[in-house]
């Protein structure tokens, strides 16, 4: 049998760091690995990493502690160890970067070594992160230029939604892109009633209380203030609800304090991050409604995860997460204000939520097996085009690029622990 071909996946976050993009890379790697293909993950080092649990290779390169501006270490590329190890990898077919800055720069360096095309998936609205974490107009402009230059140097660009593509173009990207949706790794279907009852008992959730759920990083820009303000209004009408937050984030303490100030802290449950997907499935199934009023997220894997468990989502009208959904059929849409969410919550019955959740499962669920098969089909097209020389010849990144990256890393290191 001929040597297997290899897909190299690059991202700035990977377990033990858990976020939507890290989860995407884990599932790409898992479903690529088979009798014909190997997957290799290239990611920054982490002091708590245990890569022996993965059935594929994970190559780590040096990183710096970046808690001041992110929830995970920031990679410092140009690792001779990665270069040496990548030379030993059999027949690299594709370099697939899932982050447009450090990981894509690493991919550009490796392309010169393994002679394989680069695919870059744009997952996140980086203009929001840049505005939040990079202080000063000059540095923000440099960061956007760095990002666009990196993306433009890739051989094909994917986005996870049409809205993500529009955001990328607003940053100054002038090239083409295609939409390649992500899947979810939560199986379609409900968990056993006994598991739901045990979970509610563990967290003292009354049997008849309406349970709302949020899953994701605890960051204000995820629409969490809107949720808390709406629930504060709802409590004046009824206290028979629980709001469950699953996740961690740099705004977590402020969010918990705001819930206390709004006098709904006793209605709120902060679970923390959940690495066990089975336990997360129980939370989805135990909840009546998934609240995700985020204008930040470009795709919202959590919406499909909720749909896998027949739990309907509340989404912002016009947001990327709401692309393709139908109001009051497979989801609920609101305006970007607390009154709109409050009015919806105060009017919905559990019967209506269950009916919409059932349709959400039928309409919105997409498995990772299906999503990765779509990606692999596209990899084959890209690989053949690359072999035929249809992509432009790429030069080694210039010194100017290196200087911009160095300036940004220096600026990041000087940021205070919290904004404002």
Q: Is the pLDDT of residue 330 over 90?
A: yes
Q: Is the pLDDT of residue 282 over 90?
A: yes
Q: Is the pLDDT of residue 63 over 90?
A: no
CB 258 within 8 A of CB 229: no
Tens digits of residue pLDDT in 32-44 = 999 889 999 999 9
Q: Give the C-alpha separation, 87 to 321, whole Å.
A: 39
| Residue 159, helix vs strand vs coil | strand
Give CA torsion, residues 80, 74, 304, 132, to 10 deg: -150
CB 256 within 8 A of CB 226: no
Q: In which residue are the tokens 């509610």 written?
A: 200
Q: Give the C-alpha separation, 294 to 195, whole Å.
A: 29
Tens digits of residue pLDDT in 239-263 = 799 999 999 999 999 999 999 999 9
Q: Give the C-alpha separation, 415 to 352, whole Å.
A: 47
Helix%, strand%, coil% for the chain, nearest 5 = 45, 20, 35
Say if strands 57-61 and 74-75 run parallel, antiparallel, or are unpaired. Answer: unpaired
Please tell me the pTM assigned to this model.
Answer: 0.79
Say if strands 63-64 and 74-75 run parallel, antiparallel, or are unpaired. Answer: antiparallel
Say if strands 5-10 and 92-97 run parallel, antiparallel, or are unpaired. Answer: parallel
Structure confidence at residue 66 (pLDDT): 53
Residue 213, C-beta contacts closer than 8 angstroms, at least 6 positions apart: 243, 244, 246, 283, 284, 287, 289, 290, 291, 306, 311
How confident is residue 369, by pLDDT bands cut at 50, 70 and 90?
very high
CB 125 within 8 A of CB 298: yes
- Output 290 or 105, whichever has higher pLDDT: 290
How confident is residue 88, by pLDDT bands cut at 50, 70 and 90?
confident
Q: Which two tokens stand for residue 346?
A: 């105060």
Exposure string of 256-294, with b = 16+ CB inside 10 Å and e = fewer, is eebbeebebbebbbbbebbeeeeebbbbbbbbbbbbbbb
How confident is residue 203, by pLDDT bands cut at 50, 70 and 90?
very high
CATH of region 193-365, choose from 3.10.20.30, 3.20.20.30, 3.40.50.2000, 3.30.2010.10: 3.40.50.2000
Q: Delimit the CATH 3.40.50.2000 region(s) of the chain.
A: 5-183+369-413, 193-365
For the chain, what percent of residues have pLDDT higher than 70? 88
Q: Which two tokens stand for residue 62?
A: 């040096």
Cis peptide before 16 (omega within 30 of 0): yes
Structure confidence at residue 132 (pLDDT): 67
Least confident of 144-148, 153-157, 331-335, 403-407: 403-407
Structure confidence at residue 370 (pLDDT): 95
CATH architecture designation of domain 5-183+369-413: 3-Layer(aba) Sandwich (3.40)
- Output 62 or 407, whichever has higher pLDDT: 62
């Amino acid at each position: 049998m001929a040597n297997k071909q290899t897909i190299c996946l690059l991202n700035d976050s990977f377990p033990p760091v858990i976020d939507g993009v890290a989860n995407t890379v884990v599932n790409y790697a898992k479903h690529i690995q088979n009798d014909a293909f190997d997957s290799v993950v290239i990611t920054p080092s982490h002091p708590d990493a245990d890569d022996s649990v993965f059935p594929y290779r994970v190559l780590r390169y040096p990183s710096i502690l970046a808690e001041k501006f992110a929830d995970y270490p920031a990679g410092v590329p140009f690792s001779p160890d990665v270069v040496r190890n990548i030379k030993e990898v059999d027949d690299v077919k594709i370099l697939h970067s899932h982050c447009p800055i450090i990981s894509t720069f690493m991919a550009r360096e490796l392309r010169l070594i393994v002679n394989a095309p680069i695919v870059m998936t744009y997952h996140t609205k980086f203009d929001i992160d840049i505005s939040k974490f990079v202080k000063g107009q000059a540095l923000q402009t440099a960061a956007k230029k760095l990002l666009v230059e990196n993306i433009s140097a890739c051989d094909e660009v994917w986005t996870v939604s049409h809205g993500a593509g529009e955001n990328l173009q607003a940053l100054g990207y002038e090239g083409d892109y295609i939409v390649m949706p992500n899947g979810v790794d939560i199986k379609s279907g409900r968990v056993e009633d006994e598991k739901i009852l045990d979970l509610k008992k563990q967290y003292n959730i009354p049997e008849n209380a309406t349970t709302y759920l949020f899953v994701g990083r605890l960051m204000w820009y995820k629409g969490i203030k809107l949720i808390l303000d709406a629930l504060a209004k709802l409590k004046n009408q009824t206290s028979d609800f629980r709001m469950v937050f699953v996740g961690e984030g740099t705004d977590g303490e402020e969010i918990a304090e705001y819930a206390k100030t709004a006098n709904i802290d006793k209605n709120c449950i902060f679970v923390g991050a959940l690495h066990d997907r089975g336990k997360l499935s129980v939370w989805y199934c135990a909840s009546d409604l998934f609240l995700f009023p985020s204008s930040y997220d470009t795709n919202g894997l959590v919406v499909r995860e909720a749909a896998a468990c027949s739990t309907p989502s509340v989404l912002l009208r016009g947001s990327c997460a709401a692309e393709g959904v139908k109001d009051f059929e497979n989801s609920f849409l609101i305006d970007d204000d607390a009154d709109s969410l409050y009015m919806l919550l105060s009017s919905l019955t559990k019967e209506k939520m269950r009916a919409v959740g059932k349709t959400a499962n039928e309409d919105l669920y997409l498995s990772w097996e299906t999503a990765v098969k779509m990606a692999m089909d596209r990899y084959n097209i890209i690989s053949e085009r690359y072999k035929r020389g249809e992509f432009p010849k790429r030069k080694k990144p210039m010194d100017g690029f290196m200087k911009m990256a160095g300036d940004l890393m220096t600026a990041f290191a000087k940021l205070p622990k919290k904004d404002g």
